[in-house]
């Protein structure tokens, strides 16, 4: 099986995403209508039953997340469109091809948790997506599709950490995008202190399908424990560097060889990094793994944002990881010690190794630091930052050692 299954992108390029009418013509807003006819409890049950799990990275059951929201007068639905993982642009594609599905999905969530206001936090790198979404929301309002639900688009300003839900909330509130400690979780005390559901674009965009076609239908697609589809973005040394929507039981090697058309220039495969820059590097021997959340966890990787960066045999892993360590140094918010100082020292040591000035002791220091960051950092950024380092030392240790002083 090496076919795409398009749910989110079914009508890509056939409809104008800004126009609600276009979307309605292909069956849009039926899910929302159906949701409105259900009790909030039944609606949440339906979403739970679909098995939809958050596409933002944590992989938490969406319906479950909503069910934790306590009663309150004001609540918010927040969409995370801050996709900052390098190599990722699936949320942009979903918006550019099917913005109305996102809007409908947020409104469905609004019905489920009884919220009237939504926010879309769009990364500052996508001003054109902000414009598109504002038009699309207006159009949905004009045709009366949203009822009393309203959505405001807010723009980020270049901070990867704002992809973390509490940092994102801080940013919407107009603050420095520093993550909050949890608990309290946003579901209980989020935006401006009230219950807030934060989900990724892709998660919201699945909802219309689930409501229209039924939870069972969705649950039957892809991997049983992480059902549905996933939009992947392929980059690096492949013949076909573009985006795909595949069922979640799709095999990684098929992503590279079938969809990606194999490694470019007839070269041999070396490694693939899945999930964006915070993802693990996966060697050839693990390529036969399905991309779903749990299968990837089992090999010490994460599906994450669905970015797939392929590297051919000529690539210098240590150099790439050095670049990645600079990314994390640049993007650490600076709030907690392990991350603020840790990402800085990781970058220093990686540069030392990459430039042939390091010894075996530097690798030990790096691994020790990585361990502490994973365990003690405040948020996911600091916890995940060392993953590319540890996974490459594990699978490509010889490339590190080759650069050490004693072997140079």
Partner 1 sequence: MIKLTIDGKEIEVARGTMLLDACRQAGADIPTLCYDPDLRLAGSCRMCVVDVKGRPALVASCVAPAENGMVVQTESDDVVESRKIILELLAARHKFECPTCEKDGECKLQDYMYRYGVKESRYDGEGPHFGMEDPNPFIERDYDKCIMCTRCVRACDGITGAQAINVKDRGHHAKIAAPFDGKLADSTCVFCGQCIMVCPVGALSSKVAAGQGKPAQNKKVLTTCTYCGTGCTLELNVNNDRVVGVTSNRDENWSPVNKGALCVKGRFGWDFIHSPDRLTTPMIRENGGLRPASWDEALDFAAGKIKEIKEKYGPDSLAMFSSARVTNEENYLAQKLMRAVIGTNNVDHCARL
Partner 2 sequence: MANYQDIIASCKDKKGGIIEAYHALQREFNYIPREAVAEAARVFGVSEAQAYGVATFYSYLSVEKRGKYIVRMCESAPCHVAGADKVLKAMEDYLGIKVGETTADGKFTLELTECVGQCQATPVITVNSQPVFNVSSEKIPEILSAYK
Residues that bind partner 1 (CB under 8 A): 159, 176, 181, 183, 329-338, 340-345, 348-349, 352, 361, 365, 368-369, 371-372, 374-378, 383
Exactly one of 17, 28, 59, 86 binds ligand FES (CB under 6 A); that residue is 86
Cβ distance to partner 2 smaller for residue 94 or 296: 94
Residue 132 partner contact from partner 2, ligand FES, partner 1, none using kind-dependent CB cut-offs of 5 to 8 Å: none
DSSP state of 207: H
Q: Does 342 bind ligand FES (CB under 6 A)?
A: no
Contact, 243 vs 231, CB < 8 A?
Answer: yes
Dihedral angle sign, alpha carbons of residues 214, 216, 222, 226: positive
If the CB atoms of residues 242 and 288 are measured against partner 2, the closer one turns out to be 242
**Residue 344 Cβ, how far from partner 2 at the closest point, in Å?**
16
CA distance 20 to 145: 8
The residue (of 311 and 333) whose beta carbon lies closer to partner 1 is 333
Contact between residue 248 and residue 90 where contact means Cβ atoms under 8 Å apart:
no
Rounded CA gap, 322 and 346, in Å? 9
Question: Do residues 208 and 63 lie in contact, with contact meaning Cβ atoms separated by under 8 Å?
Answer: no
Residue 163 sits in the site that holds ligand FES (CB under 6 A): no
Answer with the entry of partner 1, ligand FES, partner 2, none that 113 interacts with (C-beta below 5 to 8 A by kind): none
Sequence length of the chain is 408
Residue 86 vs 118, nearer CB to ligand FES: 86
Residue 342 binding: pick among partner 1, partner 2, ligand FES, none (C-beta 5-8 Å cut-off by kind)? partner 1
Q: Which does 96 bind (CB under 5 to 8 A by kind): partner 1, ligand FES, partner 2, none?
A: none
Nearest alpha carbon to residue 85 among 286, 304, 310 = 304
Q: Which is nearer to partner 2, 84 or 342 (CB)?
A: 84
- State in angstroms the smallest separation of the CB of 233 from ligand FES: 9
CB of 241 to ligand FES, least distance (A): 11
**Is 338 one of the binding residues for ligand FES (CB under 6 A)?**
no
Read off the DSSP letter of residue 56. Answer: T
| Dist. CA 219–CA 215, nearest whole Å | 6
Cα distance between residue 59 and residue 45, in whole Å? 18
Q: In the bound complex, what is the minimum distance in angstroms from residue 234's beta carbon to partner 2?
A: 8
Q: Cβ 359 to partner 1, closest distance in Å?
A: 12
160 or 257: CB nearest ligand FES: 160
| Count of beta carbons in the 10 Å neighbourhood of residue 105 | 30
Q: How many CA atoms lie within 13 A of 207 on its CB side?
A: 35
Q: How many CA atoms lie less than 13 Å away from 174 in the CB half-sphere? A: 1
Kindly tell me the number of DSSP H helices and DSSP E strands found in the chain: 16, 11
User: What are residue 403's phi and psi, to 5 degrees?
Assistant: -95, -5
Taking the complex as a whole, the smallest distance from the CB of residue 51 to partner 1 amounts, in Å, to: 23
Report the interface residues with ligand FES, using CB under 6 A. 86-87
């Amino acid at each position: 099986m090496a076919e795409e299954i398009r749910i989110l992108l079914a009508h890509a390029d056939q409809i104008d995403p800004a126009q609600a009418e276009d979307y309605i013509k292909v069956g849009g807003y039926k899910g929302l209508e159906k949701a409105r006819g259900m009790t909030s409890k039944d609606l949440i049950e339906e979403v739970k039953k679909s098995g939809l799990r958050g596409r933002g990275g944590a992989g938490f059951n969406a319906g479950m997340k909503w069910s934790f929201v306590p009663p309150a007068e004001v609540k918010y639905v927040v969409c995370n469109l801050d996709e900052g993982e390098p190599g990722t642009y699936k949320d942009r594609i979903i918006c550019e091809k099917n913005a109305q599905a996102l809007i409908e999905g947020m409104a469905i969530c609004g019905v489920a948790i009884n919220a009237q206001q939504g926010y879309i936090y769009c990364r500052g790198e996508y001003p054109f997506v902000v414009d598109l979404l504002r038009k699309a929301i207006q159009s949905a309002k004009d045709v009366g599709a949203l009822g009393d639900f309203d959505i405001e688009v807010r723009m980020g300003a270049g901070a990867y950490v704002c992809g973390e839900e509490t940092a994102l909330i801080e940013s919407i509130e107009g603050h420095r995008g520093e993550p909050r400690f949890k608990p309290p979780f946003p579901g209980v005390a989020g935006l401006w202190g009230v219950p807030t559901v934060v989900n990724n674009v892709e998660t919201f965009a699945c909802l219309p399908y689930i409501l229209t076609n039924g939870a069972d239908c969705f649950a039957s697609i892809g991997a049983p424990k992480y059902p549905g589809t996933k939009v992947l973005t392929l980059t690096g040394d492949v013949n076909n560097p573009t985006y795909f929507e595949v069922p979640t039981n799709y095999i990684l090697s098929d992503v590279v060889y079938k969809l990606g058309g194999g490694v470019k220039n007839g070269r041999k495969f070396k490694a693939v990094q899945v999930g964006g820059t915070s993802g693990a590097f996966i060697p050839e021997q693990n390529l036969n793994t399905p991309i779903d959340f749990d299968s990837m966890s089992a090999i010490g990787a994460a599906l994450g944002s669905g970015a797939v960066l392929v590297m051919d045999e000529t690539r210098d892993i240590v150099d790439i990881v050095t670049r990645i360590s600079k990314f994390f140094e640049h993007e650490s918010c600076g709030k907690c010690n392990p991350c603020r100082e840790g990402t800085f020292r990781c970058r220093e040591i990686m540069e030392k190794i990459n430039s042939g000035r390091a010894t075996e002791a530097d690798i030990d220091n790096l691994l020790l630091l990585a361990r502490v960051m994973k365990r003690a950092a405040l948020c996911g950024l600091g916890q995940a930052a060392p993953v590319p380092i540890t996974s490459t030392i594990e699978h490509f240790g010889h490339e590190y050692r080759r650069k050490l002083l004693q072997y140079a």
